[in-house]
Structure formats: structure tokens, C-alpha cells
Structure 1
Amino acid sequence: MKVPGDTMTSKSADLDENGVRVGEVIQLKKPFSRLTIFSLTVVLMSTWEALSSTMSSGLVSGGPVSLVYGFLRSPHLSPTVLNKSDQMVVAIVGSMATAASLGEMVSMYPTAGGQYHFIAKFAPKNWQNILSWFVGWIGTFGWVSFTASAPYLAAGMTQGLVVLTCEAYQPQRWHLSMIYWALVGLATALNLWGSRLFSLVETASLIIHLMGFAVVLIVMFVTNHLVNPNTHPDSPSLGYDGAIHLCEEMANPETAVPYCMLGSLAINDILGFIFLLTILFCMGDMESALETPTSYPIIEIFRSVTGSLAGSCALTAVLIIAAWLGTIALLASTARMVLSLARDRALPFSGYLSQLDARTDLPKRAITTTSCLLILFGLINIASTTAFNAILSLAVLGLHISYLVPIVFFLWRRLVAPHNLNYGPWKLGRAGIAINVTAIIYLLFTSIFMVFPSYQPVTPSNMNYASLIFGFVWLMSVVFWLVRGRKEYKGPAGL
């Protein structure tokens, strides 16, 4: 993809040794530094901020102990599935193994398409196109769902502050959607017209992410007498592949992207765990936090700790700002994923979506289309919050499946035809097979349990609809494959 000042050249498509169509050579300027991409990846993951919004399900299901071990293990696993020490090992080793496996692949093929391109490189020849197609669809729509989660969190907390400070206010779903739309609109505007500021914004976002964490912890410790309630939010380490989808716009992505993914994952997991422990030690009365009219226990915890509405509002504002900054990064990464899939003619209206702006050379059509989908989600929220949450549930499952499939076939290629693999400068060496196997086991295990409900007893309003939404996206991809894909889709075309 091009950015301001880029040049793009191409030659006729050819097939590589695996039968994959390559040859559309893209020569780009590289406007993003390693720091920019690292900052973007750290901020879009925003693990400690996400914990603040997802802690209620863990507190209801198993209390603080469940929260801690749920964070350490993985999203949506029952605390009875593994013993406590094993849960820590599963989460840390599994996530790192997944990121390392993806890092080795992107070092070989640095392309914005990422996972769906990898599967086309490593799957058996007769299966390359169809598997690439489905992984591309699932991954792209998973990213769209993931992007919606950040402004929804910021909007929900904003509405929660209004509830906290104005007793006469009656929250309505359409109020939340209006706030959500405003946040999406601001993020869209910056992606469309603030390209010259993008690197600066992402670096500043990283500083806010880290400084906000420090401020919240200092306030919690200084103003509160620590009490252990003696008694796990489902906050996945998700989105570290965001660096992959902007790799065509940075220098030396073969080595930079793997380090960005692993570094961002390590930082977010460490900050998330420290934040979680601090909150649980300082929360006091768990029932009061769960019964808060704001719908966000973290707001009540902040109020209780600081002893003032102003203090609660200030700390919550840190989370709101961080979530909105994450929206900017998420939208940028998702739009590149949409553009990549469109330029390979794997989406409806691919000819339109794959066009770059004539003046700025930015993927403005992909950005605005992604934003339109986010706006549509806001309309769905007005009709039903349950339906909106069902859409958001695709994020974790969709992305984990998009990680799993290429790693499976990368391992297969590694075992049956290692001589055909042209490793990049960042490689796992002899440990590669063990790391791939670890990632596969982890992703299989977590993907199965991601479709389980987070609450008991299960009702239509708290049911986990991830499998239903996943099936719907899969069905759409099948229909479009039969209508056009099997005739026109020739696999990823460009590096």
C-alpha cells in the first residue's frame, strides 16, 4: 500500500516454488519507524485498560482469585479447567509461542495481509486459495469487531461518569451509541487527515499508556489502605499481530515486526497483571463494586479508593483517553487489513476498496468503509446491546483462529518439506517445532473454551454468541467464495 510520496511498481504475476502467485512488486517509502509500530501495537492491545471493563464477569463467576488466575491463563477458560500454577504457564508460554511463530512467518513474508498470506505460502497447493480466503475473511472481520471494542469501552465509561455525577440522569442505549459514534468519528478523522501527525500521535499514545498506568497505581496506593478481600477478567492478550498489518510501511519489517509483537505482548501482560493485583487489593467491598449503577465496577472502585467524585472521574478519564487512542491504532491496522484483502479481490467491492487516495496515497476508502461498519454496529447497539456484544465476541475467536490455521500449516511444511522454506533474518532455529506445537495446543485449547458462557446461569442476555457470529461470517465467506472467489481469487498477489 502507498503512503504520501510512495511509488508503486508492478510486474506480471508469477508463481513461486509453492505455487503461490507473487510478482506484484510494491516499492514503498517507509514513513513509520520501529518506535511508531511498537507504540501502535502496545496501545491497540491496551491490556490493563481492557481489564478495567471486563472484570465484572470474573468477579461474578469466581471472585478475585478467579480474576487473577483467569488473567494468567487465558480468556474464557473456567478456573476449574487448570490448576493455578498451570494457568500461569499456559497463558505466558502460549501467547509468547504464538507471537514468536507469527514473527518467524512475517520475517519470511512481510506483507500487510499477514495470516491469510502465510496460509497461502504453507498450505498444500490445492488448498492454498480456499484456506487463504477463509482465514482472510475471519481475520478481517475479527479485526473489525476488535476495533469496535475500544470506542465502546470509552463510550460506556463516559456514560458511567455521567451516571455517577448526575443522579437524575437515566442512561439510554442511544446515548451510548452517540458517544461511541463521536469517538469513532474523531479516530477516523485523524486517520484520514492527520497522516503527518500519525507517528507523533502513536508515540504520545505509548507515553500516555505508560504514564496513565503509573498515575492510577500511585493514586491507588497513596490514597487507600490495602485490604485483601480474601476471596479473573477475561482480558485476552490480543492484537499483537497489528504490527504485521502495517509492516509494508516501515523499514526492515523482517526483524522489526517480530520484536514489536513480542515486546508489546510482554509489556501489556506485565502491566495488566500489576494493575489487576493493585485493583483487587484496593477494591474493598466487592458487592458494592458489582452493584454500581455505572455498570463499571472500576468506576466504583476508583470512587471508593479516592473518596471523591473528582478523583474517580480523573482516573476514569485516563482509561477513556487511552481507549480512544487505542481506537486510532486499531482503525489504522484494520483498514490496512481490509485494503490488503481487497487488492487481492477477496472482498465485495474490491475494486473500490483497494484504491488509494489520489492526493495523499492513503487507503481512505478502506478507512471510511471500516468506520461505516463501526457506525453500523452503533445502530445495532440501539436495538439490542446483546446483539452488539455478540458482534464484539467475534474478536477473540476470529483472531485466534486466524493465528491457528497458518501456524498449523507452517509446522506441517516445516516437517514435510523443510528444504522449501526460505527463512528470514528472524528465525526460531531448532526450537521452532516445539514453539509451533506449543502455540497450536494453546490456540486450540483457548478457542474451544472461548465459546463457553462467561456467566452462570446462562440467559439470552449473557449467552456467549461467539460461535454464532463466527458461523455467520464463515457462511458469508462461503457464499461469496461460491459466487466469485473460486473463479477470480488467485491467492495473495503482492509482497
Structure 2
Amino acid sequence: MAYTEKHTLPERSEDCQEAVSSDTTPSLNTEETRGDGVLERYISFVSAINFGFVLECSWEASAVMFQLSLANGGPASMVYGCFLAGIGTTAVAMSLAEMASMDPTVGAQYRWSARFAPRWNKFWGLMQGLAIFNSPDYVPQRWHITLLMWAITLLPLVGNFWFRKILKLIESIGAFLHIAFFVASIVTLLAMAQRSSARYVFQTLTHDVSGWTNPAVAWGIGLLTVTYPLTGDEVVQARTRVPRSMILSVVLNSIMQTTYMVCLLFTIGNVDQVASTPTGLPIIEVYYQATGSKAATNLFVAVMGLVIFTSFFNVFASVSRLIWAFSRDKGLPFSNFFGSVNPYLKIPLNALLLIGTCVALLALINIGSSTAFNAFLSLPALALYISYFLPIFFVFWRRVTQPKSIAWGPFSLKSMGIPVNLFALCYITFIIAWMPLPTVLPVDGNTMNYAGPLVGAVIVGALVDWVVSGRKRFQIRTAVPGPRI
């Protein structure tokens, strides 16, 4: 299959006076072709903000997952962790946004790394928790979760066939619910829930529940509740809009997450009852204690699930385009097949179907072992932070050693680049250090955190592929950058 790409010569400006280096990669223009199809760039600035805004679904995800922090670190980990995560992820977003401004490509981290070298279990757990809450006699089985995963996977998978037509509606609904029920939740909890003391919220450090007795370790593990990924996608005028949408989405979600978690801790009610709820999801018990109504509790929790479900559309869209981009650069076996674009739908259909197939197959693991399945769910978070670290480190090193070799985009950190990059690297390293640790002691087959060994296995497998054939097959395409907008 022949591959062609459209480019125009760049306009020069004060922000980009340096010569384009030989390793310059193609920018995101209005369309890219592969085979018989055209992959269009159609997301507006507002859609780009909504895309990342809903994808992070920060306060909803924290509400669903905060039981981890109840046993590790407690309120101190959640409150101060929110501030740390907000500052840290903003630094990461600024660092990545600068690279997106230079090269706003679908491949993102792996392409930036190549250029400068010398991220669902929340939703499934939420649905099962609601089932137990409304039907106390219900006894969940692992195969129930597998069937639920298949059903929930089908809609966003099929919906992505017409993603362009339904994008604005999905993103608008998701963004509205994300904000409206954030306000409604806070107002309801403050008005109706039993109040906690300021001492409990700001001075309680839990380190004697999960088995981890070291306060620093317990606090660090509890941070995982409030750390979230960043995203970007095909955006018209991508060199300016991608950086803005990335940073704005992270800042807004950080503010909402911090506000919600502080409110939640002040209105948590009976902590022992919340922590031991039979649903396995403390947030259900928090709303029920506050409202005393199953109907109101179902409404609040169901809307959280709806926002998280809306983010699934974004996940399928983003990952399918990442597979398409990686295949286009010959990074996967059968690259011509997975790197093609459907000429009618104008999406990477084969890559999208690959994702759906993988999710359906991985769901089968849960039938045999929920522990092994949970390891697959925790793997992406660790891998994602590693993928952030590499391009930021490489651009930081290039910034220090060869600053004139970088062709900056419209968005540049300028003199703040070195300290921002360095802080982002320190933050990522700090978060990665806690991710492979088990959340409960003593460690056995059921409590083992397999994310670390799995990441190691993936890295070893990638290195083997690189030595055998990848170094000959994989090639980042070079071209003259597109117009400065």
C-alpha cells in the first residue's frame, strides 16, 4: 500500500528561528491518508477540551476508588495527595504540551521519544456495587463481570464507527454531567451529610489497616487514588489547540478533584460503616448515609458511571488511533493491515476491531482468576507514567545539551522549561515508585501486585522484538513540518 502525506512549507516566526533538524517528524494537518482511506482531523478546540475533560473524569474516578486510600494513608493521603497530583500532573501536561506544539502527532509519546532521544475497572466495579446495593441477596460471580464487560465494550466500539457524527453530542452530554453533578454532589453532601472535624480531614494519617505500618509508605500508596493520565487526539489547528486543551483539562480536573475529595472527607459520615460496606464501594454508602434514599444514591452513582462510560468512547478513539499510528511506522506485526483507514468511515477500523477483540479476550481471564485480571487492569497506569517519563527526559536532556537543535512550536516553556521538566520527571518517578507495591500485607497470590512484573515482561518482549526485527522494521517517517497556525 502506498502512503502519501500532504505538507506545506512552514511559516517562520520569532518562536521558531532554529533550523529544522533531520529527525523532524510530520505534523498533524487536516488529514492523513493510508491506503484507500483518509483519516480526518475534525475535533474543534471546544471538543478537544471536552475530550480530555471527560476522559479524565477526575472526581468521579476518585469517588469510585477512594477505598484504597481509606486503608493506606487515609484523609492525609487524599487531601495533600490531591494538591501534589494537581501540581505534578500540570507540570507533566505542560511538558507534553510543549512537545505536542512542536509535533502534534497521534503517536504522541513514542514518536516524541524517538524524536528527542540521543492511559476501566472503575466502571465495572461501580456497576456491580450498585447491583449489590439494590439487591442485598445478590451473590456476584466472576463470569458476571465478564459478561458485563462484553456488553459495556460493545456500545463504544460500535459507536466509534460513527464517532465524528456523534462526538459533539457525547462530549457535550459528558461535560455537562461532569460539571452539573459535581456541583449537585457537593451541595447535597454539605447540606445533608454528617460533618467530620477539620482534624480528621487534615491531620489523620492511616497506617495501621492494610498491613503497611510505615506512615510514609502508606501515604505514598494512598496517592494512587488521585493520580490520573492525560490525553490528546486529532484536532484542527493542533499545534496551538492540543497544548491548550491538555493543560486546561488537567487544571480544571485537578481543581474539581481536590474540591470534591475535601468535601467528601468532611461529609463521609460513619467511617467504619463506609469502609466495611458490603458493596465494596464506599462512595455508595457515603451518599446513602447523607440522603437516606436509595433512589437518590442510585442517581448520583449512576451518573458517575455514565460519565466514566462516556470516557470509554474517547478511550476507544484514542487507542485505535495510537495503534494506527504505531502500525503506520511499522511498529506492529501486520502493520499494513492495522495501519489502514477505512475509506467510507474514515477511521482506523482494523485497529478499532483489534482493541475490541483484545478487551473481549482479556475479560475471559476474570473467569479463571480475578487476581490475574486485576494485574492487567493496573498495568496500563504504570506503563502510561513510564511513557510520560521518557519523552520528557529526552527533551529535557536535549534542552540542556543541544538547545539550538530543537524547533520549538507556538507553545514553548522558554526559560521555565528546565525547572518544569525536572519537576515533572521527579513527580513521575515518585508516583512510579509506589505503583508496583501491593496495597495489602502480607503478600500472597491474591494480594500480589503483578503490574511491575508484567511491565518488565512487556519491556523484555519489546527488546527481543527490537533485536530480532523491530530495529529493521520500525521507522519514524520524516517530512517538512506543516503550517504554523
**TM bracket (short chain):** 0.7 to 0.9
Asked if 1:114 is matched to 2:108, the reply is: yes
Q: State the distance in 2 between where 1:277 and 1:39 align.
A: 24
User: In the alignment, which residue of structure 1 is the partner of 2:161?
Assistant: 192
CA RMSD of aligned residues (A): 2.2
Asked if 1:343 is matched to 2:322, the reply is: no
Q: State the distance in 2 between where 1:222 and 1:445 align.
A: 37
Q: Extract unaligned runs of 5+ from structure 1.
A: 1-6, 74-90, 125-142, 144-148
Asked if 1:327 is matched to 2:312, the reply is: yes
User: In the alignment, which residue of structure 2 is the partner of 1:476?
Assistant: 461
Q: Partner of 1:460: helix, strand, or coil?
A: coil
Q: State the distance in 2 between where 1:66 and 1:487 align.
A: 47
Q: Extract unaligned runs of 5+ from structure 2.
A: 8-18, 32-39, 205-221
User: In the alignment, which residue of structure 1 is the partner of 2:10?
Assistant: none
Q: Compute the displacement of 1:280 (Å).
A: 1.4
User: In the alignment, which residue of structure 2 is the partner of 1:277?
Assistant: 262
Q: Compute the displacement of 1:485 (Å).
A: 0.7
Change (3 A) 1:473 1:236: farther
| Residue pair 2:240, 2:410 contacting (<8 A) in 1 also | yes
User: In the alignment, which residue of structure 1 is the partner of 2:79?
Assistant: 68
| Residue pair 1:258, 1:426 contacting (<8 A) in 2 also | yes
Q: State the distance in 1 between where 2:383 and 2:462 align.
A: 13
- Taking the TM superposition and a 5 Å limit, the aligned residue runs for 1:71-110 are 71-73=82-84, 91-110=85-104
Q: Partner of 2:419: helix, strand, or coil?
A: helix
Q: Give the residue type in structure 1 aligned to 2:81.
A: G
| Residue pair 1:37, 1:260 contacting (<8 A) in 2 also | yes
Identify the structure with the greater helix proportion: 1
Q: Partner of 1:234: helix, strand, or coil?
A: helix
Q: State the distance in 2 between where 1:156 and 1:396 align.
A: 17
- Taking the TM superposition and a 5 Å limit, the aligned residue runs for 1:140-159 are 143=119, 149=120, 152-159=121-128
Change (3 A) 1:440 1:63: closer
Q: State the distance in 1 between where 2:326 and 2:388 align.
A: 16
1:300 to 285, 289, 293: 285
User: In the alignment, which residue of structure 2 is the partner of 1:316?
Assistant: 301
2:129 to 156, 160, 180: 160
User: In the alignment, which residue of structure 1 is the partner of 2:175?
Assistant: 206
Q: Give the residue type in structure 1 aligned to 2:224.
A: D
Q: Deviations over 1:350-373 (max 9, x none)?
A: 111111112121111111111221
Q: Compute the displacement of 1:294 (Å).
A: 0.9
Q: Partner of 1:393: helix, strand, or coil?
A: helix
Change (3 A) 1:26 1:63: closer
Q: State the distance in 2 between where 1:364 and 1:102 align.
A: 27
Asked if 1:40 is matched to 2:9, the reply is: no
Q: Deviations over 1:282-330 (max 9, x none)?
A: 1211121121111111111111111122121111111111110111111
| TM score, norm. by length of structure 1 | 0.83
Change (3 A) 1:281 1:23: closer
User: In the alignment, which residue of structure 1 is the partner of 2:212?
Assistant: none
User: In the alignment, which residue of structure 2 is the partner of 1:225?
Assistant: 194
Q: State the distance in 2 between where 1:233 and 1:429 align.
A: 31
Q: State the distance in 2 between where 1:114 and 1:265 align.
A: 17
Change (3 A) 1:8 1:31: farther
Q: State the distance in 2 between where 1:93 and 1:72 align.
A: 6
Q: Deviations over 1:428-470 (max 9, x none)?
A: 1111111111112222222222222223333332222221110
Q: Deviations over 1:383-424 (max 9, x none)?
A: 211111111212222111111111111111112221111111
Change (3 A) 1:159 1:25: closer
Q: State the distance in 2 between where 1:10 and 1:262 align.
A: 29
User: In the alignment, which residue of structure 2 is the partner of 1:234?
Assistant: 224
Percent identity of equivalent pairs = 32
Q: Please list every run of at least 4 consecutive aligned residues from structure 1 whose deviation after the TM superposition is greater than 4 angstroms.
A: 16-19, 21-27, 492-495
| TM score, norm. by length of structure 2 | 0.85
Asked if 1:171 is matched to 2:140, the reply is: yes
